[in-house]
């Protein structure tokens, strides 16, 4: 790493070996970079928050007063269960319908005389069908106490025993102090006069830990100038909420690092201060480059519409390559990567953007397209290294021999992603 970047290092155990090579911002290059900026529709469809959260959105961020699970997650689980039950009931109805048709055919073959000797009762008959269960389904289950000496204070049961309190419905926690809005509301880049400190383009990467409520929380923020490669910000962030762990295996950040930075007052205190520090370099026209940067912007509770996301770009190229092979097997498509791997997906089809594994991961793309090994060793990620890799990937898209073909593919595929 160059000496200009080395002075900004905050984690001495990191293994960054890449050097930021300056890029000349010619008018043609800047125009091409602008052409890669995604529309708001594409950003929204790939997990970005593009407008401030509504009251309904904020309500879904609240947690159940009993089990403590986020209401949005509970709603998704409920819809998933309803869909699963509907599919199960449809299969059951189809099976019963087939059985009824078989019974009807057999009944038609019976002699008419047998019907005269049939004795029927006027009372209700179940015909083998179970009566509806009147017992309500208990959706919310929890322990009302706390763990003490390996036992729940509310019931004395072991930590792994079933919850002792059950409710039919989940009840969101009351929010009289506006805590939900303070913790979850997103703030857009201010529209106004461009300041001298604002950059034309930047690259961003953040590291997150896990809170006691199992949410992701910002603990490090890094911002590079896209053209010069200069490190504008590389700071640890003291979290706003109690933490379960710092995700050290991936973030590379340990509690001694945070406590030391807090004692020296060299960290940023809370995500609001981190966002304010970032916005000193970013105006409404600044292009923000990142890989799966919706995670970074969400951790900052920040809305910005001028985004170039290497995950979205590479996804479009990958889909176009697969489509070209299907439609014209003899035609050689623009290959997004050359390694054999699979892109992991969430079980529920959600947006999963791992930076460390998979065909579209930053680690893989950096190795294949840049010839650069990142995220190696056991010391976690280096956000300077990751931000620089995302920036250099965009530079490859803009300067490759297949530049025109890449742009045509991206234009077509990214438009289709928004529909």
275 versus 101: which is more confidently predicted?
Answer: 275
Place of tokens 């106490």: 145
In sequence order, which residues have a C-beta less than 8 Å from that of residue 241 and are 6 or more positions away?
Answer: 183, 211, 212, 213, 215, 217
Give the pLDDT confidence of 150-206 residue by residue, as tens digits.
Answer: 888 889 888 888 998 888 888 887 877 888 899 999 999 998 878 889 999 999 999
pLDDT at 32 over 50: yes
Rounded to whole angstroms, what are the CA distances from 192 to 13, 110, 278, 323, 413? Answer: 41, 86, 16, 43, 33
HSE value, Cβ hemisphere, 13 Å, CA-based, for 59: 5
Place of tokens 């931000």: 387
Q: What fold does the segment set 3-52+191-418 form as a domain?
A: Nucleotidyltransferase; domain 5 (3.30.420)
Give the pLDDT confidence of 290-337 residue by residue, as tens digits.
Answer: 999 999 999 999 999 999 999 999 888 888 777 777 776 665 555 554
- Where are the domains positioned within the chain? 3-52+191-418, 54-91+138-185
The span from the CA of 113 to the CA of 55, in Å, is 70
Q: How many CB atoms lie within 10 A of CB 202?
A: 24
Task: Please count the residues of the chain.
Answer: 419
The span from the CA of 320 to the CA of 337, in Å, is 12
The span from the CA of 182 to the CA of 220, in Å, is 20
Place of tokens 């706003």: 240
- Check residue 405 and give its pLDDT: 58
Rounded to whole angstroms, what are the CA distances from 7 to 2, 3, 251, 384, 388? Answer: 9, 7, 20, 12, 16
pLDDT at 283 over 80: yes
Q: Tokens in use for 309? A: 């996301």
The span from the CA of 162 to the CA of 239, in Å, is 33
| Phi–psi pair at 252, nearest 5 degrees | 75, 10
Which H/E stretch holds residue 299?
helix 293-299
Q: Which residues of 375-407 are buried (b: 16+ CB within 10 A; e: fewer)?
A: beeebbbbbbbbbbbbbbbbbebbeeeeeeebe
6 versus 206: which is more confidently predicted?
Answer: 206
- Check residue 123 and give its pLDDT: 44
- DSSP string over 165-183: EEESS--BPP-TT-HHHHH
- Average confidence (pLDDT) over 330-356: 44
The span from the CA of 368 to the CA of 360, in Å, is 11
- For the chain, helix, strand, coil in percent to 5 are 40, 15, 45
Q: Which of 86-90, 338-342, 377-381 has the lowest mean pLDDT?
A: 338-342
135 versus 370: which is more confidently predicted?
Answer: 370
- Check residue 174 and give its pLDDT: 80
Span between the terminal Cα atoms of the chain, in Å: 42
Q: Which of 310, 386, 385, 367 is nearest to 18 (CA)?
A: 385
113 versus 152: which is more confidently predicted?
Answer: 152
Q: Which of 208, 227, 207, 230 is nearest to 217 (CA)?
A: 208
Q: How many CB atoms lie within 10 A of CB 11?
A: 22
Torsion angle of C-alpha atoms 394, 400, 404, 405, degrees rounded to 10: -90
- Average confidence (pLDDT) over 379-389: 88
pLDDT at 15 over 70: no
Torsion angle of C-alpha atoms 224, 226, 227, 232, degrees rounded to 10: -20
Class of residue 205 by CB neighbours under 10 A (exposed 0-12, middle 13-18, buried 19+):
buried
The span from the CA of 98 to the CA of 23, in Å, is 70
């Amino acid at each position: 790493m160059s000496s200009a970047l080395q002075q900004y290092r905050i984690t001495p155990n990191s293994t960054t070996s890449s050097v930021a090579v300056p890029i000349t911002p010619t008018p043609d290059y800047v125009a091409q970079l602008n052409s890669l900026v995604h529309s708001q529709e594409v950003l929204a469809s790939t997990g970005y928050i593009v407008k401030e959260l509504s009251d309904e959105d904020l309500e879904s961020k609240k947690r159940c007063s009993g089990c403590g699970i986020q209401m949005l997650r509970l709603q998704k689980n409920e819809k998933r269960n309803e869909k699963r039950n509907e599919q199960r009931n449809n299969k059951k109805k189809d099976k019963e319908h087939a059985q009824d048709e078989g019974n009807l055919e057999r009944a038609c073959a019976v002699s008419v005389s047998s019907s005269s000797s049939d004795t029927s009762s006027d009372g209700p008959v179940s015909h083998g069908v179970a009566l509806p269960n009147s017992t309500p389904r208990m959706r919310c289950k929890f322990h009302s106490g706390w763990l003490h000496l390996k036992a729940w204070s509310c019931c004395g049961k072991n930590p792994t025993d079933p919850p002792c309190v059950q409710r039919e419905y989940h009840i969101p926690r009351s929010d009289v102090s506006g805590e939900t809005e303070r913790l979850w509301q997103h703030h857009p880049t201010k529209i106004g006069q461009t300041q001298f400190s604002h950059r034309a383009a930047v690259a961003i990467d953040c590291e997150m830990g896990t809170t006691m409520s199992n949410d992701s929380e910002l603990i490090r923020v890094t911002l590079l100038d896209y053209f010069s490669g200069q490190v504008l910000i590389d700071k640890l962030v003291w979290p706003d909420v109690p933490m379960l762990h710092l995700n050290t295996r991936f973030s590379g950040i340990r509690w001694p690092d945070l406590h030391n930075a807090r004692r020296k007052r060299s960290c940023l205190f809370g995500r609001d201060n981190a966002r304010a520090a970032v916005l000193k370099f970013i105006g409404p026209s600044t292009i923000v480059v990142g890989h799966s940067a919706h995670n970074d912007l969400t951790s900052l509770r920040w809305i910005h519409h001028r985004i170039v996301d290497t995950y979205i770009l590479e996804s479009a190229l990958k889909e176009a390559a697969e489509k070209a092979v299907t439609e014209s097997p003899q035609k050689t498509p623009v290959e997004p990567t050359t390694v054999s791997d699979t892109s992991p997906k969430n079980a529920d089809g959600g947006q999963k953007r791992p930076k460390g594994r998979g065909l579209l991961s930053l680690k893989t793309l950096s190795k294949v397209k840049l010839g650069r090994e990142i995220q190696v060793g056991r010391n976690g990620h280096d956000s300077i290294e990751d931000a620089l890799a995302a920036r250099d990937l965009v530079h490859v898209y803009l300067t490759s021999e297949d530049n025109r073909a890449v742009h045509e593919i991206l234009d077509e595929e990214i438009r289709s992603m928004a529909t």
